[in-house]
Structure 1
Amino acid sequence: MQEQLTDSAPSACRLCGSTRLRSVLDLGATPPCESFLTSDELDRPESTYPLHLRLCEQCLLLQIPALITPDETFTDYAYFSSYSDSWVEHARSYVQQAEDRLGLTGDSFVVEVASNDGYLLQHFLGSVPCLGIEPSVNVGAAARDRGVPTRTDFLDEQVAAQVRREHGPADLVVANNVYAHIPDLLGFTRALRGLVADDGTVSIEVHHALNLVRYAQFDTIYHEHFQYYTLLSATRALATAGLAVVDAEFIPTHGGSLRIWARPAPVSGEPSDAVARILAVEQEAGLHDPAGYDALATRTAAIRQDLLRFLLDAARDGLRVAGYGAPGKGNTLLNYCGIRPDLLAYTVDRNPYKHGRFTPGTRIPIYPPEYLDADRPDLVLVMPWNLRTELTSSLAHVAQWGGRLVFALPELTVLDPSGSSDPSGQVDMARTTGVQA
């Protein structure tokens, strides 16, 4: 059912300017997902903002209103990419692929936008000159500490022009997991074109809206993600600055992403067969028609109900439940489901920045991972479900005290980390606790 826009709703699509915006999923009002609280902030009010996903019926760009600015989120940022071993390996593999694909050498130049702590560019060091552009002061400092040249700035057209004057055009511009984070989509796309050489390449990774809709990955929606792409909508966005998609591929990161290769239109040539195949998959899934997005709200509500029912049953049966990870997606999950310390006693995270802090909105304490081993909870809710293989392996020792791992998405699953699973989400309470239920 199409929403009747009100004065509080966004007035126009940020890609094409259409006012035909259709409600897809309303997650209520939540704090920004990276605004972790210190102990002396617990008695202070928190700012919350609507988290309402809409679809432009004209260009089919999924988007939320730009209610917070990037400088509110990214100036001092809590996310460090290098705390995920699998993510660093993903970056290393990508660098090898890019070098082979594009023939990059010591005479080439690579720029990464939103380069975080140097997790990716570190793999170019010693072989290809590179530069990171990272807005977060603390994260950029970590990159420089590991030897990655990094400029502290938000990319815009002026910064792109200055980088080009100082360093020359880039043979490769990497914009992985940032194209969703920009409210000025048209200006940012022009800045990408300003960085890249006239015969160069832009590489973008984005979470694929196909998986967002198909598997109700609603926790990937948060205020710093302003838009959510299909290959069709990404192609339309890049075209506004004269960039043409030449190739695309499915990749498994973030629960299913797209890697898009684009070049300036005059040198782009015909796109690969993979582009047509992915567009066909999207069309078959109904995502090239507004009605194809309507089931997301129903699927999302079902996930919330299943998780809450499970946690309430665990509390009734006296089981202790803790969390693993404090990612942005986890905070969308916790706030939308209304999960607080009575259902999730605490969570742990590898990032020291978060230790001693509390999750925004739900005020769940965050401890180092060692706390989990000392406490030995019965159930561990793993919030970065996209790292399931990595974390199931690293948390295998939870089985030593009879603990189980719980994943809320794509469906409620309870795992014995020693190897067996119960996809239905029904847990054997006697086996979990070691006593007869």
Structure 2
Amino acid sequence: MTACRLCGSAALESVVDLGATPPCESFLAADQLDQPEPAYPLHLRVCTDCWLAQIPPLITPEETFSEYAYFSSFSTSWVEHARTFVAGAVHRTGLRPDGFVVEVASNDGYLLKHVVDRGIRCLGVEPSVNVGAAARDAGVPTLTAFLSPDTGAAVRAEHGPADLVVANNVYAHIPDVVGFTQGLRALVADDGWVSIEVQHLLTLIEENQYDTIYHEHFQYYTVASAIRALASGGLTLVDVELLPTHGGSIRLWARPAEAAGEPSRRVADVLAREKAAGLQELSGYAEFSARVAKVRRDLLKFLIGAAERGETVVGYGAPGKGNTLLNHCGIRPDLLPYTVDRNPYKHGRFTPGTRIPILAPERIAADRPDYVLVLPWNLRTELVEQLSFVHEWGGRLVFPIPELSIVEATS
């Protein structure tokens, strides 16, 4: 990687090198276990000119998202998050019943179904054929496409400009930041709104959330770098919200530059926090790699110790972030014989690289393990309650991030 994908600078400095891993959503079928599996470098660098953190674009979005294993509706808390967002967005933007909402990377319709329920016209733009089909089955109009300036212009020509464009958890997933942002501008009305949710680099660094670094995520934003990215497509940041989702996210509210006005006080406040954390100088990134190494050592020490004591540890969840963690730590079925997941699509498959079987959640109650390693740690509140039954036999939950934590399985 020789140049920043946002500003073109060659001033890229290493933040953390996680070695080489397979794509995090490339779950293996049983008949693939004897086949070779490609792995790609996973090395996070930061541009010291625009401060966009990024990994090399070694895997195209087409390879990842044409068929996708992640269905948003399987997370109860995420569906509720979407419902609350829609209610708030309608109020903020003054969206009328005759308005028009477009969501980019709309997945299985988990968010737009709340727009449909309000009787507001909407369209999802979703590149994955399988999850887009699920959205249409749920009554959410969905176009199977990647967003580009041309796609945005075509949607606008057919359906009219959007009063609200939503791009939640996708702004990190596209290597062509400028083209994607131009696509957002093509979709939105000249006086409309764009809402983007993306993980906040500030919390990623502060909370050791290195497992959210994977090949689907091409870049990692501060508000400062997001402002520059939005400007590349003619959008201006007007407000920001700090969210607890994914361990710490930012919700960016942007408008076309000509309609933006002055940004809110919250924008200045978050920019000041980022600057105080050193994220606009290399010192803010200096200790991250060492703290990542400690997470790995502590988790391996726990798993090896449990195995030597004859205690059983199984996993809960098979998220993308979990596969970064498993591969970086070198965890195999001898230390984690299986993990479970609520998504039936993953049942009977194996985690990429580490080849750990993925089973249905009911297996935990049948086997009564001593510990359950929770891989989607960002859903901690939801999962402590969901896994409260583990307490019935004295089992405990293990959370690896931001540091190893062993807790009682009680709600």
TM bin, normalised by shorter chain, reads over 0.9
Equivalence for 1:31: 22
TM-score by length of 2: 0.99
Pair 1:83 & 2:109 matched: no
Q: In structure 1, what is the Cα distance between the partners aligned to 2:284 and 2:119?
A: 46
Q: In structure 1, what is the Cα distance between the partners aligned to 2:133 and 2:197?
A: 24
Which SS does the other structure have where 1:159 is aligned? helix
Pair 1:67 & 2:58 matched: yes
For residues 339-381 of structure 1, give each alpha carbon's deviation from its aligned partner in whole angstroms, at most 9, with x where no partner exists: 0001001000000010000000000000000111111111100
Equivalence for 1:348: 340
Equivalence for 2:386: 394
How large is the Cα RMSD of the aligned pairs?
0.7
Shift of 1:157: 1.0
Q: Which of 150, 174, 183 is 1:158 aligned to?
A: 150
Query: Amino acid of the residue matched to residue 139 of structure 1?
Result: V
Conserved in 1, the CA contact under 8 Å of 2:48 and 2:280? Answer: no
Query: Amino acid of the residue matched to residue 239 of structure 2?
Result: D
Query: Amino acid of the residue matched to residue 271 of structure 1?
Result: P
Q: In structure 1, what is the Cα distance between the partners aligned to 2:113 and 2:59?
A: 31
Q: Which of 370, 382, 386 is 1:378 aligned to?
A: 370
Q: In structure 1, what is the Cα distance between the partners aligned to 2:146 and 2:261?
A: 31
For residues 148-177 of structure 1, give each alpha carbon's deviation from its aligned partner in whole angstroms, at most 9, with x where no partner exists: 000000111111111000000001000000
Query: Amino acid of the residue matched to residue 361 of structure 2?
Result: P
Equivalence for 2:184: 192
Equivalence for 2:111: 120
Pair 1:411 & 2:411 matched: no
Query: Amino acid of the residue matched to residue 29 of structure 1?
Result: A
Q: In structure 2, what is the Cα distance between the partners aligned to 1:97 and 1:290?
A: 37
Q: In structure 1, what is the Cα distance between the partners aligned to 2:363 and 2:410?
A: 20
Pair 1:253 & 2:237 matched: no
Shift of 1:267: 1.0
Pair 1:298 & 2:293 matched: no
For residues 380-421 of structure 1, give each alpha carbon's deviation from its aligned partner in whole angstroms, at most 9, with x where no partner exists: 0000000000000010000101110000001111011136xx
Conserved in 1, the CA contact under 8 Å of 2:317 and 2:340? Answer: yes
For residues 13-54 of structure 1, give each alpha carbon's deviation from its aligned partner in whole angstroms, at most 9, with x where no partner exists: 000000111010000000000000011100111000000000
Q: Which of 170, 181, 184 is 1:178 aligned to?
A: 170
Conserved in 1, the CA contact under 8 Å of 2:165 and 2:195? Answer: yes
Equivalence for 1:425: none
Conserved in 1, the CA contact under 8 Å of 2:198 and 2:221? Answer: yes
Equivalence for 1:49: 40
Number of positions where the alignment pairs a residue of Structure 1 with one of Structure 2: 410
Equivalence for 1:424: none
1:177-256 matched pairs, under 5 angstroms:
177-256=169-248
Which SS does the other structure have where 1:271 is aligned? coil
Equivalence for 1:369: 361
Conserved in 2, the CA contact under 8 Å of 1:60 and 1:290? Answer: no
Pair 1:12 & 2:8 matched: no
Q: In structure 2, what is the Cα distance between the partners aligned to 1:35 and 1:135?
A: 16
Conserved in 2, the CA contact under 8 Å of 1:335 and 1:361? Answer: yes
Q: In structure 1, what is the Cα distance between the partners aligned to 2:242 and 2:353?
A: 34
Conserved in 2, the CA contact under 8 Å of 1:105 and 1:127? Answer: no
Shift of 1:290: 2.4
Gaps of 5+ in 1: 1-9, 420-437
Equivalence for 1:422: none
Q: Which of 293, 307, 313 is 2:299 aligned to?
A: 307
Q: In structure 2, what is the Cα distance between the partners aligned to 1:130 and 1:418?
A: 40
Gaps of 5+ in 2: none
Q: In structure 1, what is the Cα distance between the partners aligned to 2:196 and 2:285?
A: 24
TM-score by length of 1: 0.93
Which SS does the other structure have where 1:124 is aligned? helix
Which SS does the other structure have where 1:163 is aligned? helix
